Structure 1
Amino acid sequence: MPATERGRLGAALRRWLLSGLLVLVPLIVTLWVLDWVVSTLDQTLNILPQAWQPEHWLGMRVPGMGVAFALAVVLGIGALASNYVGNQLVAWWHALLQRIPVVRSIYSGVKQVSDTLLSEKGNAFRQALLVQWPREGMWTIAFLTGTPGGDVARHLPPQDYLSVYVPTTPNPTGGYFVMVHRRDVVPLTMSVDEALTYVISMGVIVPGGRKPGLGVDDAHVPGPAQG
């Protein structure tokens, strides 16, 4: 086979390999995550007595029963905690855990984070912002979480500073909490969900459906005007 044809064949094989990976990798990772979630939730059935477990009265293991059971438990606890009696029981349980030295610090921290992120009255990620990070001249997406409070407010007046969360990519659950001056923050019109998608995709999925540039020259746009 001539060298030219071998080169073309090699280029085609590399192109097909990359195309196949682009199709299979997201699918495999998605299936792996779903399998891990279902397997983990299926273990919640172990808290039931042996006679009550689905395998005992069905005669076979049904994947996903733990998911339905966990969902039913969460909904049941939520319904119980929504009425007066359940609310009093939750308050009693919370007060009890607050009296245990080691558990108190862990439980309080986790509860504050969950209340902020999951509560309907929570204020987490109020708005998408553009900030200079990790140094001046480099811009990244951040999220407004509030204003400085407590003893910090004596040194950083809330009317002048904002509390923001700078996420890492592609995993936005890790990041940095910083307090920046209002004049150094550029508010964005994109929603929080769009900004999160933009961060997770490392800039590949652009809000509004625009395609990113293919190179440095194509991607070059004027930087945000500083106020």
Structure 2
Amino acid sequence: MKSILRSFINGILTIVPIILVIYVVYKTFMFLDGILGSVLKPYFKDDYIPGIGILFTFILITILGWLSTKVFTGALFRLVDRLLEKIPVIKTIYSVIKDTINSFLGEKKSFSKVAIITIPGTNMKSIGFITTEDLESFYDPLKDHVAVYIQQTFQIAGFTFLIPKDEVEIIDVKPEDAMKFILSGGMTSTDK
């Protein structure tokens, strides 16, 4: 009986991660395919091939990126950008989305430095990511502080703490390894 139970548990440990990865990849594929796929399906009628929506989305984003570097269309994109940054409620949503995307894909990546902080009043430590080193422009008394984003385990949410620079230790760990470690609750080992 113990052998059967052990085999069952081994089966769960083997197959559940595989099934979950396949499910997440499938759902992501269907979502991305549906962005332009739902617009394209009527034109293809019964000949629609799953994945055409993703292909057209990729092509459209690439063309828009190329156009944003040209004189006339670049000026048009900058005009729309300035307009979105002036509309009261929209500017907050737009700036958060724009800054978040730029922090991952832009030239100045915010999650490139991994840090360890000590939780005040304890000997406990937490791993986070330096998101901003210049807080003086935000609020002058914080000029000796940095913003450290602490990701919550098993969630997308997290906290941003403003911590004195001398209380933050930058560690030599790849951001991807640190994120895996945090999101798994410390169960994922790193290559180091």
| TM-score band w.r.t. shorter chain | 0.7 to 0.9
Q: Distance in 1 between matches of 2:117 and 2:22?
A: 35
Alignment identity in percent? 23
Q: Deviations over 1:84-109 (max 9, x none)?
A: 22311111212333343332332233
State which of 130, 141, 149 in structure 1 corresponds to 2:116: 130
Higher gyration radius (CA): 1
In 2, the alpha carbon distance for the partners of 1:115 and 1:12 equals: 52
For residues 1-227 of structure 1, the aligned pairs below 5 Å read: 9=1, 11-43=2-34, 44-48=36-40, 50=42, 53=43, 55-56=44-45, 59-120=46-107, 122-133=108-119, 136-147=122-133, 148-150=135-137, 152-154=139-141, 156-158=142-144, 161-171=145-155, 173-208=156-191
Name the amino acid aligned to 2:21.
T
d(CA) in 2 for partners of 1:49, 1:67: 13
Alpha-carbon distance between aligned partners in 1 of 2:176 and 2:143, rounded to the nearest angstrom: 29
Distance in 1 between the 2:97 and 2:121 partners?
31
TM-score where L is the length of structure 1: 0.74
C-alpha change, 1:102 and 1:145, in structure 2 (3 Å) is closer
Cα contact 2:116–2:169 (8 A) shared by 1: yes
How big is the shift at 1:35? 1.4
Measured after TM superposition, the shift of residue 136 of structure 1 is: 2.0
**What stretches of structure 2 of length at least 5 have no aligned partner?**
none
- Using a 3 Å threshold, how does the CA distance of structure 1 residues 186 and 19 change in structure 2: closer, same or farther? same
Structure 2 distance, partners of 1:195, 1:103, is 33
Q: Is this contact kept in 2: 1:164–1:179, CA < 8 A?
A: yes
Relative to the length of structure 2, the TM-score reads 0.86
Instruction: Pick 1 or 2: higher relative contact order, CA cutoff 8 A, min separation 6.
Output: 2
Aligned pairs, how many?
Answer: 190
